[in-house]
Amino acid sequence: MNSIAYFFSDTHLGASYIDDPRAHEARVVEFLDSIKDDAAELYLLGDIIDYWFEYRHVVPRGYVRFFGKLAELADSGVKITWVVGNHDVWLRDYLSSEVGLKVLYGTTEVDVLGHRFLISHGDDVGKRPFGQRLTRFLLHNKVTQWLYSLIHPNFTWWIACGLSTSNRVNRNPQTEQRSAKHCIELLDEFARDYATKHPEVEHFVMGHLHSARLTPIDDKRSICHLGAWIYDYWSYARFDGKQLTLHNHRKQ
């Protein structure tokens, strides 16, 4: 009987700065295939695809093997939930209708194997600079989304991928590390404050910051940052109904 819940985020499938996108997708599919025999629930916490803009009648090309594996898991009875991130924010109803998964927007409390979790991509909670809050508002705003949709997809793809690549390759590693550490501290502060006000929540699971770590709140509750799948450390979390643990699915 399948009895495990899995969590992962930030695979950034299709990112132009990844040397071999097909191999990258295959590695994620391999991981999904490895959990099919015991997975009861699967949570994808945002930035699964590096860029996705879903039109009313048209969706981007690619990701066939990945979507096919998700469909296989859903057809076998695995409950799949996808929380949108800041890269795949424009996810609509295509995957929910074709694959059979549930799409969530923003931070949400959910029941996982009978236990209360708070799940989030991580870009909408805690203390954030004004620029980040403004960017998120524009990404989620219906008017800006409609205006963006009027641009031909060839140009929107070029704009989005260019910005994503520039943002990734031009970062200073030391500065990024310090920034991630500070952001994690802010998210941990948010989680601890939330846990005080909502004692029914046992675990907090977030993505976004590309840093994998599991921090206890007390002897029963914890905060999990899922990390990313764009480096050598391919991290995910596993919950067996009693304990939340963090693992890695390393390249061979």
> What's the pLDDT score for residue 212?
92
Measured distance between the N- and C-terminal CA atoms of the chain, rounded to whole angstroms: 29
Phi first, then psi: what are they for 115, rounded to 5°? -120, 150
- Strand residues in the chain grouped as ranges (E): 4-8, 39-44, 79-83, 102-104, 108-112, 115-120, 203-206, 212-216, 222-226, 235-239, 244-248
CA distance 128 to 186: 8
pLDDT digit of tens for each residue in the chain (252 aa)? 689 999 999 999 998 888 899 999 999 999 999 999 999 999 999 999 998 888 888 888 889 999 999 999 999 999 999 999 988 888 889 999 999 999 999 899 999 999 999 999 988 887 777 777 788 788 778 888 888 888 888 787 777 776 666 666 555 454 555 566 778 888 999 999 999 999 999 999 999 988 899 999 998 899 999 999 987 679 999 999 999 999 998 754
> What's the pLDDT score for residue 192?
93
Pick the CATH number of 4-248 from 3.30.710.10, 1.10.760.10, 3.60.21.10, 3.40.50.1980: 3.60.21.10
Compute how many other C-beta atoms are within 10 angstroms of the C-beta atom of residue 37.
9
Each domain of the chain, given as residue ranges in start order, spans: 4-248
Give the three-class secondary structure for 220. Answer: coil
**Single-letter amino acid code for the residue at 88:** D
> What's the pLDDT score for residue 168?
60
> What's the pLDDT score for residue 252?
43
> What's the pLDDT score for residue 165?
62
CA distance 57 to 71: 20
> What's the pLDDT score for residue 34?
95
CA distance 96 to 82: 9
Angle at Cα 138 formed by Cα 142 and Cα 134, nearest 5°? 145
